[in-house]
């Protein structure tokens, strides 16, 4: 063995030892910090999300061979940040009440423009930093985190609010297990001010 390879084997051995001890301490910290979610609870949450239709609006549609289909690579990540919507069409007076994007993630109506939000566990752009209590408070009150602004249509929060605590907690548990997707959904746009009274 020449000097150069002796030195590199020393470094490889040292790095291997450091990596092993880091892995051991991370494993120890991991067991203390994050208890494993109950698989039955997560499965119940998945079932509720699918059957209650959360994907209809929170997973963007893309065009497939047989027409629009949910883009599973963007599962529950809300209105795509790279899809910048032009101004909403103005509807003629009459019974047509709102307009929707082809993705089913942006909505224009008397409430202005709303965008379906990112429900993945990304901490910055999704709900990764939300506690179970934050999630319960939001869907029970129809307000962001239970104390912020009122949730806009067409979010059917009244339907979710009618679920049992156990079911809402199961949905939360499932949402913690889906892949985190970095996607910053735009803030809603307020409706134009009504014309000033003459
Ligand atoms: C018909 C469309 C639609 C369906 C179905 C739907 N949502 Fe929403 N959701 C929205 C829209 C639009 C928003 C954004 C509202 C806003 O910005 O005020 C939203 C917002 C939310 C928020 C608030 C996020 C935040 O940052 O405050 C949560 C939580 C949520 N939805 C959960 C769900 C769950 C769980 C389901 C299934 C039971 C569901 N949604 C089904 C349209 C929908």
Mean pLDDT by 10 residues, the chain (198 residues): 49 44 45 75 98 98 96 98 95 94 97 97 98 98 96 98 98 98 97 75
Q: What is the pTM of this model?
A: 0.84
Q: Is the CB of 154 under 6 A from ligand 1?
A: yes
Q: What's the pLDDT score for residue 197?
A: 67
Contact 134, 128 (CB under 8 A): no
- Atom 24 of ligand 1, nearest CA residue: 117
Distance 172 CA to ligand 1 centre (A): 13
pLDDT value for 19: 44
Distance 156 CA to ligand 1 centre (A): 7
For the chain, give every domain's residue range.
Answer: 37-175
pLDDT at 1: 45
| pLDDT at residue number 196 | 72
User: Which residue of 118, 141, 152, 155 sits with most ligand 1 atoms within 8 Å of its CB, as the best mutation to test the pocket?
Assistant: 155
DSSP for 18-84, please give it: HHHHHHHHHHHHHHHH-PPPPHHHHHHHHHHHHHTTHHHHHS-EEEETTEEEE-GGGTT--S-TT-P
pLDDT for res 21? 44
């Amino acid at each position: 063995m020449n000097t150069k390879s002796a030195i590199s084997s020393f470094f490889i051995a040292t790095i291997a030892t450091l990596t092993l001890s880091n892995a051991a301490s991370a494993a120890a910290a991991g067991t203390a910090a994050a208890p494993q979610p109950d698989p039955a609870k997560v499965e119940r949450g998945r079932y509720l999300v699918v059957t209650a239709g959360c994907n209809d609006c929170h997973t963007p549609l893309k065009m497939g061979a047989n027409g629009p289909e949910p883009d599973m690579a963007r599962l529950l990540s809300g209105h795509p940040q790279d899809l910048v919507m032009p101004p909403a069409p103005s509807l003629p007076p009459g019974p047509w009440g709102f307009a929707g994007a082809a993705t089913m993630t942006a909505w224009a109506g008397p409430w202005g423009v709303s965008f379906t939000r990112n429900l993945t566990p990304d901490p910055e752009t999704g709900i990764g930093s939300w506690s179970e209590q934050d999630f319960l408070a939001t869907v029970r009150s129809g307000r962001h985190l239970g104390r912020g602004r009122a949730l806009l249509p067409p979010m059917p929060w009244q339907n979710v609010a009618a679920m049992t605590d156990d079911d809402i907690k199961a949905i939360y548990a499932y949402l913690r297990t889906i892949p985190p997707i970095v996607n910053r959904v735009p803030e809603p746009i307020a409706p134009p001010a009504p014309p000033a009274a003459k």
